[in-house]
Amino acid sequence: MLFFIACVGLLILGYFTYGVFVERVFGPDPDRKTPCWTREDGCDYINMPTWKVFFIQLLDIAGLGPIFGPILGALYGPQALLWVVLGSIFAGGVHDYFSGMLSVRKGGESIPEVVGDFMGSTARQVLRVFSVILLLLVGVVFILGPAKLLSNMTGLNVQLLVFFIFCYYFVATILPIDKIIGGLYPIFGALLLFMTFGVLGGLIFNGYELLPNLDFTANVHPNDLPIWPLLFITLSCGAISGFHSTQSPLMARCMRNERNGRFVFYGSMIAEGVIALIWVTAGVSFYESSDAMQAVIAAGSPSAVVNEICNTLLGTFGGFLAILGVVILPITSGDTAFRSTRLILAESFKVDQAKIGKRLLIAIPLFVLAFFVSRADFAIIWRYFGWSNQMLSMMVLWSAAIYLAQRGKLHWIATVPAVFMTAVDAAFILQAQIGFGLDATLSNIASVVIAGGALVAFLRYVHPVSPIGGKGTATGTL
């Protein structure tokens, strides 16, 4: 119990200490007009209250990731808790803050355009393709996941539920952001809070010992899967997730003032970290062993774990509301995943989105493609999502490091996590069956060499750039 409280306390402390430090390094300008003032279009660029922007950002990023990821991470043991705390404060919070604030400085542009400005036109083109594929996978994962949960709750056919969720996503993708997303998300936020703290309260009041195993030296995964690099790929949302960088520009278009950036972007990452802590704790505390939890996952999916925990701890009605909250989480990320995809494609092909006809021109073929992707096996989709997700987080962190280095600022706050994630991604793809399938020891050594090479190249070739007018930045616009 005390260790869990300490973890939550560290996350909160991180927001008020390291989050403030990151903010000062970036240097927000409260007198500078944000995109919702300069590019208001009644659809995607809309001025919204800060509390609402925060809730939308939190629900955008808190899909199935901070629930399914922590459940799967809990199979390794309490090490998952350490990754959530350290990852959220020093990696995820930095990643989310810079992906949001750099988008603000670039007029609300999507992440491929932001990355392209700092890593070149080739990176821009790669990220355009990469982001669309990632968001498509996210959208599909966040259709299948909630559909299965709803099917367990209602007995309705999964494919019928997939159809209804598809319909909702389509409407939410093309309508102005304040109509559905801005209107429903405060209600969904209340469900999120009930679900999260309901599970925690259920563990306490039902007499479960919180975190009975605090042996950080033992890997208790029932399949003997290695912590490095798999834990850092599996448990992404709740620590650091590239998907978040595709969502931050949505709120960069609606945020009223740059001084709100820490609360909206860094703060929502910390809040997601708390959600992840609760679900890691639930997984470790509810089941007697990792083998017992693995048996439930193998019989269904992580959604079966959610179903069992919620109904056992909160009873039939409470369990229904809690699971409904878990259903809402992925849906509130799936709708914005498709919305982000529409905007990335629109920016890539220079298609104005103020008129609904232009939005339909992109949305209709996008959803047709998503339907065919949804026919693939869920486990395969999730596996590819994990790696591509962390590849994107790595590139965003390197972009933030380049941005800071070019301006003579303390780039290490982004460089260190960028190097770490480079090693994680390299190790995974070198040894994973979806990659090169190399020996673990060889791939781990190679990953360190690759990450070290990236750092050397960065330090050698990225230098401060003389300002070209305007507030002493390298471009005069950032």
Q: What is the CATH number of the domain that holds 358?
A: 1.20.1740
For residue 236, pLDDT over 50 is answered with yes
CB atoms within 10 A of CB 267: 20
Helix axes 50-61, 267-286, angle to 10 degrees: 40
pLDDT level of residue 143 (50, 70, 90 thresholds): confident
Residue 424 lies in a domain: no
Amino acid 360: pLDDT: 93
pLDDT-derived band at 66 (thresholds 50, 70, 90) equals: confident
Close Cβ partners of 155 (under 8 Å, ≥ 6 residues apart): none
pLDDT of 436 above 90: no
Span 395-411, pLDDT tens digits: 999 999 999 999 999 99
Instruction: Name the domain count of the chain.
Output: 1
Tell me what the pLDDT averaged over the chain comes to.
Answer: 88
Spatial CB neighbours of 236, under 8 Å, sequence gap ≥ 6 = 65, 69, 242, 243, 386, 389, 390, 393
Answer yes or no: is 436 within a domain. Answer: no
Residue 406 lies in a domain: no
pLDDT for res 31 = 96
pLDDT above 80 for 301 = no
What pLDDT is attached to residue 90? 98
pLDDT band at 470 (very low <50, low <70, confident <90, very high): very low
pLDDT the model gives residue 264 = 97
Q: What's the pLDDT score for residue 94?
A: 98
**pLDDT (tens digit, 9 = 90+) per residue, 244-257?**
999 999 999 999 99
Place of tokens 């988008």: 103
How many of the other CB atoms lie within 10 Å of CB of 98?
28
Burial of residue 292, with CB atoms counted within 10 A of its CB: 0-12 exposed, 13-18 middle, 19 or more buried: exposed
Give me the helices (H) in 287-377, please.
Answer: 290-299, 302-348, 356-373
Tens of pLDDT, residues 279-298? 999 999 999 999 999 999 88
Measured in whole angstroms, how far is the alpha carbon of residue 123 from the centre of its chain? 21
Task: Examine residue 100 and state whether it is found in any structural domain, yes or no.
Answer: yes
Residue 473 lies in a domain: no
46 located within any domain: yes
**Domain housing 92:** 2-378
pLDDT at site 376? 65
For helices 302-348 and 181-205, the axis angle rounded to 10 degrees is: 160
In a domain, 411, yes or no: no
- 220 in any annotated domain: yes
